[in-house]
Amino acid sequence: MALLFICEGEDPTEWETALRTEIPDLDFRVWPENVGNPDDIDIVLTWQPPRALLASFPNLKAILSLAAGIEHILRDPELPPGVPIARLIDPGLQTGMLEFVTMEVLRHHRRASEYQDQHRTGDWKLLRQTLSRDRRIGILGLGHLGAACGEMLTRFGFPVSGWARSQKDIPGIKSYAGEDGLFSLLEQTDILVCLLPLTPDTEDILDATTLGALPRGAALINAARGKHIVDDDLIEALDSGHLSGATLDVFRTEPLPGDHPFWSHPKITLYPHAAAWTLPESAAPVIADNIRRAYHGEELYGRIDVRRGY
Ligand code: NAP
Ligand code: GLV
């Protein structure tokens, strides 16, 4: 029984140590230097596997993502059919996202960027404060991350609404679903947080039409994937004054090319895909649990529906 770690550019040492703490006799191998016989590989633990690589392991029992998102696996047109794939559901990742979204919602809510600008220009001026109960938060995606962020934000007194494929019953969060539901949510959102998975249905979802449906002065936080946003439409919405600002953690091309207009846009706060990391010390117990499940032929925790795309 062997696990193959496929994550170019990531040091596998910490992962090997953390997983061996959970499963001491784990046969931990690393692509490409230490694959051994491809027939031995039962489980792959991966971020952005090269195309067609996974199909070269004939006895694969499970594909485990090192990330919550799994589009980096599903983009492979030669995925081995029938092998279950699990996204990562990790308490550390959730905590990281809670911190990030809370931080950025509060920054927009308390006009932190404007105060920073005033600091630079030596301007002493109070900007009108808004009560949290008068700042409406809309969350796209009410899954493991979106629902937790929504619940956290209700504790500050923000009215929180969320949109998902299916109707939700989450205390304190107004739930919307379907296309009509999307526009109903957007029309009453002052700070929009995107925490959707990237699928054919959600790609380019934040375009001129949806951004235009937000009230004038709204702000956007995208901590999901860059391809959710039509970049030119976002710039237009910011330049026209329709949107007051945007926090972007994820981009169509990463690293974001040096000449991309997002870098220098005065209304954009930019992070290098840093919202929530997968840390071995938090994720290893969850991954080890899925390794055991795969070995015993049990359903994977966080198994995704390949047809649905998440
Ligand atoms: P999840 O638990 O799978 O939740 C996804 C949510 O999106 C669900 O509520 C789902 O609705 C909803 N959804 C999916 N397709 C939809 C559609 N077409 N229309 C409406 N709602 C739709 O995912 P998660 O663990 O919360 O993670 C969300 C995403 O965050 C990941 O896919 C990843 O891209 C991103 N992420 C980013 C970072 C970062 O550092 N920037 C870190 C971690 C994750 P249902 O509940 O009805 O199925
Ligand atoms: C990070 O982007 C993740 O999907 O976990």
> What's residue 127's pLDDT?
98
Q: Is the pTM of this model over 0.75?
A: yes
SS3 sequence of 194-262: ECCCCCCCCCCCECHHHHHHCCCCEEEEECCCHHHECHHHHHHHHHCCCEEEEEECCCCCCCCCCCCHH
> What's residue 256's pLDDT?
98
145 alpha carbon to ligand 1 midpoint, in Å? 7
Distances from the Cα of 233 to the Cαs of 187, 209, 262, in angstroms? 18, 9, 12
> What's residue 1's pLDDT?
77
Ligand 2 atom nearest residue 93's Cα:
5
Q: Give the single-character DSSP code of 268.
A: E
CA atoms within 13 A on the CB side of 140: 31
User: What is the full per-residue pLDDT of the chain (310 aa) written as tens digits?
Assistant: 799 999 998 999 999 999 999 999 999 999 999 999 999 999 999 999 999 999 999 999 999 999 999 999 999 999 999 999 999 999 999 999 999 999 999 999 999 999 999 999 999 999 999 999 999 999 999 999 999 999 999 999 999 999 999 999 999 999 999 999 999 999 999 999 999 999 999 999 999 999 999 999 999 999 999 999 999 999 999 999 999 999 999 999 999 999 999 999 999 999 999 999 999 999 999 999 999 999 999 999 999 999 999 9
CA distance 157 to 140: 19
**Across the beta sheet with 191-194, what order do the strands follow?**
173-177, 160-164, 137-140, 191-194, 218-222, 243-248, 268-270
Q: Which residues are catalytic?
A: 225, 273
Q: Out of 95, 144, 278, 286, give the residue to mutate to test ligand 2, the one with the largest number of ligand atoms within 8 Å of its CB.
A: 278
Domains in the chain with CATH codes: 2-90+278-295 (3.40.50.720), 92-270 (3.40.50.720)
Q: Is 225 in the pocket of ligand 1 (CB under 6 A)?
A: yes
222 alpha carbon to ligand 1 midpoint, in Å? 12
CA distance 89 to 74: 17
Q: Is 276 in the pocket of ligand 1 (CB under 6 A)?
A: yes
Q: How many residues does the chain have?
A: 310
